[in-house]
Amino acid sequence: MNLTEDQRYFLSILRETGFIRLDQVLPLLRINEPQKEIIHAGALLRRLRYMGLLARSGDGCICLPDLLRDRPDSEILLSLDVLLALRPERLLQVSARQPYKLCFLLQRSDGWIDYFAVMPVQPGHEGRISQLLQAEQKNYVFLLPLENMEQHRQITLSRSHFFVLRQGERLRFYKGGEAGKQPRQ
């Protein structure tokens, strides 16, 4: 099957996540090609559906055809939101690696590459998450979506990490020891 670079890039993300919300499609395409428009995203989706490589689920997502009967993982979709909120210059790699919901390599405009791991933290699991991440061998920057601000007090981690909180429609990032402070505007 002859796929374009855009199609291969998009399918590589979809294979790792299983589902992508429709509102995430264009921002994902714009990471590597900022000039992309909604018409390009629509054409890409139509072509991949025609080729039988993706399906539209009933909950506002697209998915791999064999996952059509499954429900999307809300934590993976949140992890994609976290990735997009970082506004990366270039996305080099995406993977869904246990115990993390999503790992990705981002390239900055200065050429520096950062390796991120997203792990949503459910209330009551802060201590377990702290131990798990402290033992990690790789040099990840951990992105920890929290359900409420108070959770940060129960996470002790001497590795590079950011807490992520949803505030309205936006995601806010707080550097490890700065979670109790007001965000910079």
Give me the pLDDT at residue 183, please: 47
- Amino acid in position 185: Q
What would the two tokens of residue 11 be? 């399918």
Rounded-to-integer distance, Cα 123 and Cα 6, Å: 38
Instruction: Compare 105 and 184 and report the one with higher pLDDT.
Output: 105
Rounded-to-integer distance, Cα 20 and Cα 81, Å: 10
pLDDT digits (tens, 9 = 90+) for 163-182: 999 998 899 999 985 544 44
Is the per-residue pLDDT at 94 higher than 50? yes
DSSP-derived 3-state class of residue 169: coil
Q: What is the DSSP letter of 121?
A: B
Other beta carbons less than 10 A from residue 121's beta carbon:
21
82 neighbors 143 (Cβ within 8 angstroms): yes
pLDDT confidence tier of residue 111, bands split at 50, 70 and 90? confident
Mean pLDDT of the chain: 90
Instruction: Compare 184 and 27 and report the one with higher pLDDT.
Output: 27
Q: pTM, whole model, 2 decimals?
A: 0.89
Dihedral sign for Cα atoms in the order 169, 173, 152, 128: positive
